[in-house]
Chain A
Amino acid sequence: MKRKQVEQDAANGYDNEPSAKKPRSGTRASSKTVVDDQPWKKGTAPVNRKSSGRESLLVEDEPEIVSADEELEDGIEQGEPNAELENGAEDDDPEAENMTPRKRDRSKQNGIENQANCTTPNKNSLLKTLFSTPVKVTGTESDTPKIERNVDYSARRKSTRTLIERTILGTTSDNDEEEEDIAEEIYNSEEEEGNVDEDGLGLLAELAEDDATPATPSKRGRKKGSKGTKVRRKSPTPPPDLTPHEKYFYQNRGGRVKTSNNTLSSLALLDHEEYFSRARNLVDPHAKDIQYLEDLHAESFKQWHFEMTQDFNLCLYGWGSKRSLLMKFADHIYKTHSDHTKAKIVVVNGYVHNLTLKDILNTIAGAITEPGCKLGSQQSDMLDNLLALLEEDKNQDITLIIHSIDRIPLRRPVTQTLLSRLASHPQVHLIASADHPSFPLLWDSSLRSTYNFAFHDCTTFQPYTAEVDVVDEVHELLGRSGRRVGGKEGVSFVLKSLPENAKNLFRVLIGEQLAAMDEGMVAPEGADDDNDNEDRRVMVHKRNEPGVEYRVLYNKAVEEFICSNEMNFRTLLKEFHDHQMIVSRKDVLGTEMLSVPFRKEELETILEDIVS
């Protein structure tokens, strides 16, 4: 039925004419809808319909078994700092572990190899650059005092010790971080050695071991290697070709996930103005291809229209904004309508935040009758009345185009139920687009059969310019939602329109908050290098969310004669709330904390603005 299918038919002998008209579209189509198309080769001998690629050829078939090689790679690839603590604990008593004969066997091998390849420290560093994060190969190892002090210890043993010390005693020194890095490095290189050995590559086998007897450390390395496989899996780089579920478990392994402590503080975030001015000038290198893709979809308009006339409703899904495609389609439908007084097209932007079902119903009613008609107050009533209105004249025909039917304004089950009832009416044709990957979950089987959707994959790759407010969304994701007001300029703008009292209150609030921030900043500076997550989190918490207690602020306000009673105070605050200029939250003890959601520098400039 689809154009695509027709093309497919061609491969199967329905249509032998080489389609000279659009030679590219064939290949496009085949690559486009991956699930339902087989690659179409022009002029291939007709294949038996039964056997011709029923199943999608392109659905990835990931190998279930991770081969031994990959397993090894996995091992080699680690260069991961974190697993060490656990390891360290396990290896508390290294001597005992060394006793196992099998281990010794292997270690002998190692020893032989060691002797054979007698490598220079050079190689070691090469090894590190290969497998561990480059930053850490700073050649500091030799100048660390500890290593020199404990020459009789192997570097490994030492590193273990360091790690244990660090965990148990919690001792931290200035060069702790550095030391840990070295420890890890040594540790890792050990493991690498083990793996490489297994691989039979003697090349990388050697390590710079201070110890005269290489057997012991490599033995232990082996031990680690075999024992540590689970632990080592913490590497952020997964082995390739994992099946989806393996990947899931891989990425959700127990234990702490270690990520770097970088924050966005060094990055000046975009505000709306900068975003839009820059976005306007950006040229998408794919614009041509995207346009082509849309034209390709547009070729199915007739088919879609046919489906609509057969009482199917359409639902377009896939990546990319489908707005322009749908508007083109609306145009197509509009052209086929002969009577524009009876046949109307109503467009609903499902992503607009203040959209309600009432709007939709009212507009439809306005389209078929006089604008002023009353449908009623309750949604279900309105729908019933609307349907009755439609029945009055059977020639009336409503094409309802809903952009993003799965976005928040329309997500409520009641709305969906009523919409489906509206769409199931023979005089109403619904064309909807859906963006979310799991949009079918919106509808249960009953709703689904009321909607009677025919779905089409319309991946357009077009940016969601109208649907998504990029800057807001990202800032919400980054926890910087205070930028919603429109940045500090927005705040000053709001403040200008407020009475003097409000301005003063805001000034007090900012002043208090800045004071709180300063307090918070003093402490964490020193602890910044501290790696302990718990501590850090608390610090971050303090630093990120300094606030002013509600009571304190009120008292201040009264002292400064900004307001005389709490009612007054609340009214002022409400104004700020409405403009999203302040955030209130309850802290652990349940006291209400107020804060202005801006960073320190911005607060300072706002304060200057107000004062000046």
Chain B
Amino acid sequence: MSDNDEIHSHIGIDSLDHQPVYIYAPAYASDDVSTRPAKRRKVARAQTVISGTGPAQTLKFEPLLNGLESPECVALRQQTFEHAWSMTDKQIQSILNEANEDTLREVTAFINNTRTASARVPTGFIVTGPNISSHSLLFKQLSKRLKTEINGPNVVLRSSDAMNLKAVLKQLIRNATHQRSGDSDEERLSSGQDGRKLLNYDLEILHGYVKANGSQAAVIAFQDSEAFDSSLISELVNLFSSWMDRIPFVLLFGIATSLDLFHERLSKSASRFLDGVQFDVEQTSSVLERIFQKAVIAPEAPLRLGSALVSSLMERQHDHVQSVQSFIAALKYAYMSHFYGNPLSWLSDVSAYESLSKLIQPHHLEVIKTLPSFQRMVEGLVENKQLTRAEALLRDDKALLKEIMNSLESKNILIIQLLQAMSILSSFSSESLNKIDLYMTAFQGGLAGSDFVKQVIGSLKRMAPDDLVKFIEGLSNCIENGNSDVNLAGLGDEDDELLTELRKIQPQVAALAIESVKTGKPIRNSYAIHSKGLRTTVIAQRVQLSFENSTLSEQDIEFTALVDHLTACLEKYFSKLQNPQEIFLNEAWLYDWTIPQKSVLSPRPREAIELALSTPYQYLSCECCESAEGLLSTHPAASILFQMYLETGSFINIFDLWSAFLEMVGGAKEQKCDERDALVIFYRGLADLKSLGIVKQSKKKADHLAKIAWKGL
């Protein structure tokens, strides 16, 4: 669009309405004093921007608390966000890179090792799984890797790039030969050996290129091979195999379904020419779980996500088969929302504690006093008759400040305890647990009575002394030293209650175990016996079932007592865990809003439009349409027509629609509006309905419309 510049130098902005594309240059009629031509103004403006709104450039966050938030706090909030997200992002990226690492390595090795001179084309089938949105990442990584490790051209083909053989070849050759050399090379290549010009889809060009560079392999990757026409792929394979003696082709197919299905689509002759190896890619769900582990569960995660948010994220993930990328985007959006919209969010950063008393504004304290968690705390104090304390918190800002400091410090420990409990559960549970479910339960505060705990305790009761010793060892080790898998440091002696109990119980159980080995009599606890001690007796041809309960030896009884004690300890341990949503000031570091996530990342445009048209008052909140339901003559034209449209059958007579509309707008008696003007409005409304795609001309009858959409469906 070279003529653009001319156009907006001398014609007003209105003429740009129908200009397909143009470069924006503001017409500052109102803001700017000068109305000089665009080019000059640019310079002038650039200067004013630098001097005047300089901070706005760096300060992206808005001051909250009705604009009363101090700039320091705003800056701190922004810093905290940037720091927090970059940390999380780094971890996620490393996981993503790792995730495909194995596949990449295998594929590269495969390409390196293929040196066949036969007519069969070495082929790698990369089974990527149905999540097509992550394919592009994989193939991008792959081509990057191949570029560095393999000497030779590599080309990634997408089905959308080319639809027929000629176009594919053109694309292939262009991409392959452009990769390294400039245009001069191309000139040389396109003219063949004997000086004649080659067509740009002649593989001879590629041949020349490969020969010139001494390439070891020409890798052709089909990113979405299912989307290609199957006959096209067959033709390509045949063609490649015929060139195999000159060009060392290696093919890679990204397969979303399964190898068998892909094989069926290929022609027999084509599949005969393929010499294939299958590669598997780590599936999205496992990558996702790892990311979740690192970014959400990990103890150093800067922001905790609430269970409601996690469940909605997961639901979206499952229901809409969204990719890992979109999960990351959602996670990022959660971070953004939290730090952008919550004036207390900077409190979540540990480094802010020292300067807390300096930075905190009276407004902050006011806000804190309205937090549900604060109220819960004060109510708790009142219930416990600590009235002076409660009063102090409410009246004395210093006391409150101190409480804030305390709670921020103690929160880390509480969270780590929670995470520890989670890691205990997941490592000692007999089945492998879904970490995400576990997290959701834990952050709802529902861990104590959950199935996860019941399961661990149940399995504990069935253990023999030897197993129990091991269990206790593992458990105390876990509490002391933490879990290295999840980067969880041990709490040392802080959690001494359970630990000391464990240490007490352990030697006793061990002693019992040794004794039992000596006596050769297995020790069982009463629970284990119950499960085994069913006895069948046949008396007078009747089967009698009775429980064996008299055989508990002294050791058994002792062991049972120990097990009981241990279970009680564990139960106490789990019930001691606090619900994060009840901790004071959790609003600063726990984000649990689902609404912005839902509306921003999975919009429902049709609902919005239907709502706007059927109840314009919701948006306009004008006096004329106040609170009224249904049709009103004051509604916008499209809205009136839409509501009429909703009431019609599937077949609409335009003239009747117009009469009804005129009745409505023109107000038959009072003549509110000229008929022709009403027609103008009617036209506008009708055009709007058409652009919404809900009506079309009906062929059945003259001047009729067909209805093609129903509200709410």
A35 touches B608 (CB 8 A): yes
CB-defined interface of A438-459 with B at 8 Å, one 1/0 digit per residue?
Answer: 1110001110111010111101
A318 touches B370 (CB 8 A): no
A310 touches B703 (CB 8 A): no
Set A12, A247, A446, A456: member contacting B135, Cβ < 8 A:
A446
In A452-506, the 8 Å CB interface with B consists of: 452, 454-457, 459, 461, 463-464, 466-471, 473-474, 476-479
A448 touches B608 (CB 8 A): no
Asked whether any CB of chain B lies closer than 8 Å to the CB of A227, the reply is no
Asked whether any CB of chain A lies closer than 8 Å to the CB of B193, the reply is no
Task: Give the complex CA separation of A246 and B171 in angstroms.
Answer: 52
In A274-293, the 8 Å CB interface with B consists of: 274-275, 278-279, 281-282, 284-286, 288-290, 293
Task: Give the complex CA separation of A585 and B208 in angstroms.
Answer: 54
Task: Given A50-B592, A436-B692, decide whether A307 and B20 contact each other with a Cβ distance below 8 A.
Answer: no
- Binding-face segment, A154-162, A197-205, A349-357, A549-557: A349-357
In A335-361, the 8 Å CB interface with B consists of: 335-341, 344-349, 352, 354-356, 359-360
Task: Given A54-B308, A262-B653, A319-B609, decide whether A347 and B321 contact each other with a Cβ distance below 8 A.
Answer: no
Closest to A54 in B: B594
In B603-659, the 8 Å CB interface with A consists of: 603-613, 616-622, 624, 634, 636, 638, 646-656, 658-659
Task: Give the complex CA separation of A78 and B604 in angstroms.
Answer: 36
Task: Given A306-B340, A449-B323, decide whether A259 and B653 contact each other with a Cβ distance below 8 A.
Answer: yes
Set A37, A48, A307, A340: member contacting B595, Cβ < 8 A:
A37
B17: chain A residues at CB < 8 Å are 323, 349, 466
Chain B positions near chain A (C-beta within 8 angstroms): 1-2, 4-5, 16-24, 26, 42, 45-46, 49-50, 53-54, 56-57, 60-62, 64-68, 131-133, 135-136, 158, 160-161, 171, 174, 308, 320-323, 325-326, 329, 332-333, 336-338, 340-344, 363, 366-367, 369-372, 374-375, 581, 587, 592-596, 598-613, 616-622, 624, 634, 636, 638, 646-656, 658-659, 676-677, 679-681, 683-684, 686-688, 690-697, 700-705, 707, 709-713
Asked whether any CB of chain B lies closer than 8 Å to the CB of A118, the reply is no
Which of B336, B370, B711: most chain A Cβ within 10 A? B370
Asked whether any CB of chain B lies closer than 8 Å to the CB of A257, the reply is yes
**What is the CB-to-nearest-CB distance from A44 to chain B, in angstroms, rounded to a whole number?**
10
Set B21, B341, B370, B581: member contacting A359, Cβ < 8 A:
B21
Task: Given A5-B595, A278-B677, A334-B26, decide whether A263 and B622 contact each other with a Cβ distance below 8 A.
Answer: no
B702 touches A540 (CB 8 A): yes
B656: chain A residues at CB < 8 Å are 259-260, 262
A437 touches B18 (CB 8 A): no
A236 touches B648 (CB 8 A): yes
A473 touches B687 (CB 8 A): yes
A371 touches B2 (CB 8 A): yes
**What is the CB-to-nearest-CB distance from B122 to chain A, in angstroms, rounded to a whole number?**
27
Asked whether any CB of chain B lies closer than 8 Å to the CB of A367, the reply is yes
Task: Give the complex CA separation of A27 and B620 in angstroms.
Answer: 11
In A302-320, the 8 Å CB interface with B consists of: 302-303, 305-307, 309-310, 312, 315, 317-320
B370: chain A residues at CB < 8 Å are 13-16, 46
A446 touches B612 (CB 8 A): no
Query: 17 A–B contact pairs at CB < 8 A?
Result: A35-B607, A248-B713, A251-B707, A252-B650, A275-B680, A279-B680, A306-B61, A320-B612, A323-B17, A337-B49, A436-B605, A445-B133, A445-B321, A446-B135, A449-B329, A456-B599, A473-B691
**What is the CB-to-nearest-CB distance from A175 to chain B, in angstroms, rounded to a whole number?**
24
CB-defined interface of A225-260 with B at 8 Å, one 1/0 digit per residue?
Answer: 000000000001110000111011001100001011
Asked whether any CB of chain B lies closer than 8 Å to the CB of A331, the reply is yes
Asked whether any CB of chain B lies closer than 8 Å to the CB of A380, the reply is yes
Task: Give the complex CA separation of A372 and B1 in angstroms.
Answer: 10
The 5 closest A-B pairs by CB, nearest first: A1-B337, A244-B712, A13-B370, A345-B24, A455-B603
Asked whether any CB of chain B lies closer than 8 Å to the CB of A401, the reply is yes
Which of A264, A474, A533: most chain B Cβ within 10 A? A474
A282 touches B677 (CB 8 A): yes
B135 touches A31 (CB 8 A): no
Task: Give the complex CA separation of A464 and B23 in angstroms.
Answer: 22
**What is the CB-to-nearest-CB distance from B471 to chain A, in angstroms, rounded to a whole number?**
36
Task: Given A244-B713, A337-B49, A446-B133, decide whether A348 and B683 contact each other with a Cβ distance below 8 A.
Answer: no
**What is the CB-to-nearest-CB distance from A341 to chain B, in angstroms, rounded to a whole number?**
8
A459: chain B residues at CB < 8 Å are 608-609, 612, 619
List 16 additional contacts besides A318-B609, A446-B323, A476-B690; criterion CB under 8 Å.
Answer: A14-B367, A16-B370, A50-B308, A238-B647, A251-B649, A275-B680, A310-B332, A339-B46, A345-B24, A348-B21, A439-B605, A449-B329, A457-B599, A461-B636, A464-B687, A466-B17
Asked whether any CB of chain B lies closer than 8 Å to the CB of A58, the reply is yes
A302: chain B residues at CB < 8 Å are 60, 62
**What is the CB-to-nearest-CB distance from A348 to chain B, in angstroms, rounded to a whole number?**
5
A401: chain B residues at CB < 8 Å are 24
In A355-410, the 8 Å CB interface with B consists of: 355-356, 359-360, 362-363, 366-367, 371-372, 380-381, 401
A347 touches B21 (CB 8 A): yes
Task: Give the complex CA separation of A449 and B137 in angstroms.
Answer: 11
**What is the CB-to-nearest-CB distance from B658 to chain A, in angstroms, rounded to a whole number?**
7
Closest to B374 in A: A13
Set B46, B592, B606: member contacting A338, Cβ < 8 A:
B46
A340 touches B42 (CB 8 A): yes
B160 touches A309 (CB 8 A): no
B691: chain A residues at CB < 8 Å are 435-436, 464, 467-468, 473
Which of A34, A281, A469: most chain B Cβ within 10 A? A34
Asked whether any CB of chain B lies closer than 8 Å to the CB of A586, the reply is no
CB-defined interface of A27-51 with B at 8 Å, one 1/0 digit per residue?
Answer: 1100111111100000000111110
**What is the CB-to-nearest-CB distance from A325 to chain B, in angstroms, rounded to a whole number?**
13
B50: chain A residues at CB < 8 Å are 338
Closest to A333 in B: B24
B679 touches A270 (CB 8 A): yes
Set A13, A37, A251, A439: member contacting B367, Cβ < 8 A:
A13
B60 touches A264 (CB 8 A): no
B608 touches A318 (CB 8 A): yes
B604 touches A35 (CB 8 A): yes
Task: Give the complex CA separation of A202 and B649 in angstroms.
Answer: 33
Closest to A14 in B: B367
Which of A348, A401, A473, A540: most chain B Cβ within 10 A? A473
Task: Give the complex CA separation of A54 and B598 in angstroms.
Answer: 11
B612 touches A318 (CB 8 A): yes
Set A319, A347, A445: member contacting B22, Cβ < 8 A:
A347
B42 touches A448 (CB 8 A): no
A274: chain B residues at CB < 8 Å are 676
Closest to A356 in B: B20
A456 touches B683 (CB 8 A): no
Set B620, B681, B688, B709: member contacting A464, Cβ < 8 A:
B688
B680 touches A474 (CB 8 A): no
B326 touches A449 (CB 8 A): yes
A319 touches B608 (CB 8 A): yes
A323: chain B residues at CB < 8 Å are 17
Asked whether any CB of chain B lies closer than 8 Å to the CB of A579, the reply is no
Set A8, A238, A372, A544: member contacting B702, Cβ < 8 A:
A544
A448 touches B21 (CB 8 A): no
Set A36, A338, A413, A474: member contacting B690, Cβ < 8 A:
A474
Task: Give the complex CA separation of A156 and B282 in angstroms.
Answer: 76
A437 touches B605 (CB 8 A): yes
Task: Give the complex CA separation of A459 and B620 in angstroms.
Answer: 10
Task: Given A260-B656, A345-B23, decide whether A9 and B342 contact each other with a Cβ distance below 8 A.
Answer: yes
Task: Given A310-B332, A345-B23, decide whether A540 and B693 contact each other with a Cβ distance below 8 A.
Answer: no
Task: Given A306-B340, A436-B692, decide whether A263 and B371 contact each other with a Cβ distance below 8 A.
Answer: no
B587 touches A5 (CB 8 A): no
**What is the CB-to-nearest-CB distance from B589 to chain A, in angstroms, rounded to a whole number?**
14
Task: Give the complex CA separation of A17 and B603 in angstroms.
Answer: 31
**What is the CB-to-nearest-CB distance from A424 to chain B, in angstroms, rounded to a whole number?**
9
